[in-house]
A and B are shown apart, each in its own frame.
Chain A
Amino acid sequence: MASRRRILIGAGLLFVAVGVYVGFRGRIVTGPTAKQHSVAPDFSLPQLNGQSLQLSTYRGKVVLLDFWATWCTPCREEIPHLVELQNKYHDQGLQIIGVSMDDSPDPVREFYQRFQMNYPVVMGNAEIGELYGGVLGLPIAFVIGRDGRISVKHIGAADVSVLEQDIKALL
């Protein structure tokens, strides 16, 4: 009787574990990744507050450059995890920069507040998309080392644990 109860409890816990795993892990669609070692193209783009942000000023930090948009569902699911990563590794030298590919900053400002984003967001354009090899689908993320070189490129929503490993390897 006691062993039967243990088996039932174990089965129940297994169901819960699978359900939680499917419910959360499964939302992140892992796309193909590509590693690159070229110097990340420098740019100067306006932030939401109107001030310019220049990528090269972050040389010496590990930068996660995330191309996204407010209407992109995988992007929206990924951003809370990026906020967590920024909190966790900021003191070790991580700087996340979001590049919004929205057509205007209005929805981005509202999104920024609602999701309590804790890293700068700049408004992207076709030029920066082409500078980074063509941003023809979202999200796309580049992990850039302290030397300014692109270490990893993630096309599509990346597994957050993989992103974290990429970042930790460079910190």
Chain B
Amino acid sequence: MISKWTGKIALAVVISALSAAIFLTQALGQATSLPSSHLINPEELVKVLQATKGEKPLMFQVGSYVLYAQAHIPGSDYVGPVTSELGLQQLRRRVESLPRTKFIVLYCGCCPWSHCPNVKPADDALRAMGFTNVKVLYLANNFGADWVEKGYPVAKGQ
């Protein structure tokens, strides 16, 4: 027979376990569920962009225009934020006529990777359209810390 104290303690343990589970679920965010095969590191992307040979990717910033206007990867276009249906539609319209093997890189850098709401919806949208050569730029902290402050190529404005 379970005493009332044992029951209460068990309930306390369950509550604390649930709290931890809720934290972990929320803290992971969507971007963290992207498999590593979908990702490209900043160093790797810089090498691709600076290489004399090989296909250069079409690049899309899928986050904030205000952040894009301050600094973005040269040659990248802004099509975000894809958390909105309008942003997703803009992304789909931009790529719909492209061959599905086109090398595309998506990036955001609005906030820490574990909290980015933009990159996974964009990645999902392109893969659902049949694109097979899509990479998402992994920015652990934000675009400023992981790209600009590393001295990688930057452009400003529209």
Contacts and interface: CB of A to CB of B under 8 A. Distances in A.
Given A15-B13, A15-B16, A126 B70 contact: yes
A31 B141 contact: yes
B65 A71 contact: no
Interface residues of A, number: 41
B16 A124 contact: no
Interface in B1-45: 5-6, 8-9, 12-13, 15-20, 22-23, 26-27, 29
A47 B16 CA distance: 42
Interface residues of B, number: 42
Interface string B132-158: 000000000111110010000000110
Nearest to B68: A126
B23 A23 contact: yes
Interface stretch (B52-60, B98-106, B109-117, B123-131): B109-117
A129 B70 contact: yes
B51 interface: no
Nearest to B20: A22
Nearest to A67: B66
Contact of B81 (A71, A73, A129): A71
A134 B19 contact: no
A22 B69 contact: no
13 contacts: A8-B6, A11-B9, A15-B16, A17-B16, A20-B19, A24-B23, A124-B66, A126-B157, A136-B142, A138-B111, A138-B142, A156-B111, A156-B142
Given A9-B5, A72-B115, 19 more contacts: A8-B9, A9-B9, A12-B8, A12-B9, A12-B12, A15-B12, A15-B16, A15-B17, A22-B23, A23-B19, A23-B20, A27-B26, A31-B141, A73-B115, A101-B67, A135-B70, A136-B148, A139-B111, A156-B141
